[in-house]
Amino acid sequence: MSDHKVIAIDGAAGSGKSTLARNLARTVHLPYVNTGLMYRALTASAIRNGVSDDDVEALIDLIHGLTFTLGGSDPRELKVEGFNERELTTPEVERSVSRVARHPRIRAWMHEVQRRLGANGAVMEGRDIGSVVFPDAVVKLYLAAPRGARVDRRTRERLREGPDEIAAELEARDDLDARTNPPTPPTGAIVIDTGSLDSDATLRTAISLILEHAPELVP
């Protein structure tokens, strides 16, 4: 049976997933779930506790201490108890998150939590939402962009880091991510090239596609 109220958004780091997903969640009045923050929370917890990103058993112990909920309004969105978003986007977390997320047992645990969070509908973004977490999502979007455009976007988002630093981080992140989740659109996904689109144009494109494939989701 299709997941009629799940909009799955996948794509590479820096392709604009978070901005689109949050804006789209506001538009369609569904919760926004940034699954990347879940892996970042585990990474930040590992850093806090001096746990190696190779120590799967210790990471599993840490993961059971994390609490993920939906909170706030316009839109309701993922909250990680004990962390704010700034703590989860530090360069140190950025450098390690792909290594933490590469372990199959950790991904399987996260997937189950993600399915619970999206059980009543959500705009959910990540790297394997449309392929693994909600393969029957009624709308699956995949955002693609050249690396240069993704570096520019991340530089605007993270003013405390310079473009050279961000470019190096993104290259390393792409290499690590490719070993866990090769950047391939899920079956049935519609690809949006965001390289030349700003956030408003990306949102308009996404809404037009949703109106075409699942008009009941748009008020």
For residue 160, pLDDT over 70 is answered with no
pLDDT for the residue 158? 67
- Structure token digits, residue 76: 């309701």
Sheet holding 3-11, edge to edge: 68-71, 77-80, 32-34, 122-126, 3-11, 137-144, 190-193
- Mean pLDDT across the stretch 4-26? 92
Instruction: Give CA–CA dist 210/167, Å, rounded.
Output: 32
So where are the chain's domains?
3-213
pLDDT score recorded for residue 178: 67
Both tokens assigned to 99: 């290594």
Query: Does residue 214 have a pLDDT over 70?
Result: yes
Amino acid at 112: E
The CATH number of the structural domain formed by 3-213 is 3.40.50.300
Largest CA distance in the chain: 49
User: pTM score, two decimals?
Assistant: 0.88
> Which pLDDT tens digit goes with each residue over 64-116?
999 999 999 999 999 999 998 889 988 899 889 989 999 999 999 999 999 99
Helices 104-117 and 56-63 pack at an angle, to 10 degrees, of 20
% the chain with pLDDT above 90:
71
Alpha-helical regions (H) of 15-103? 17-28, 36-49, 56-63, 91-101
Q: How far apart are CA 8 and CA 6, in angstroms?
A: 6
Q: What is the pLDDT of residue 173?
A: 72
Q: Is 81 exposed, middle or buried (0-12, 13-18, 19+ CB in 10 A)?
A: exposed
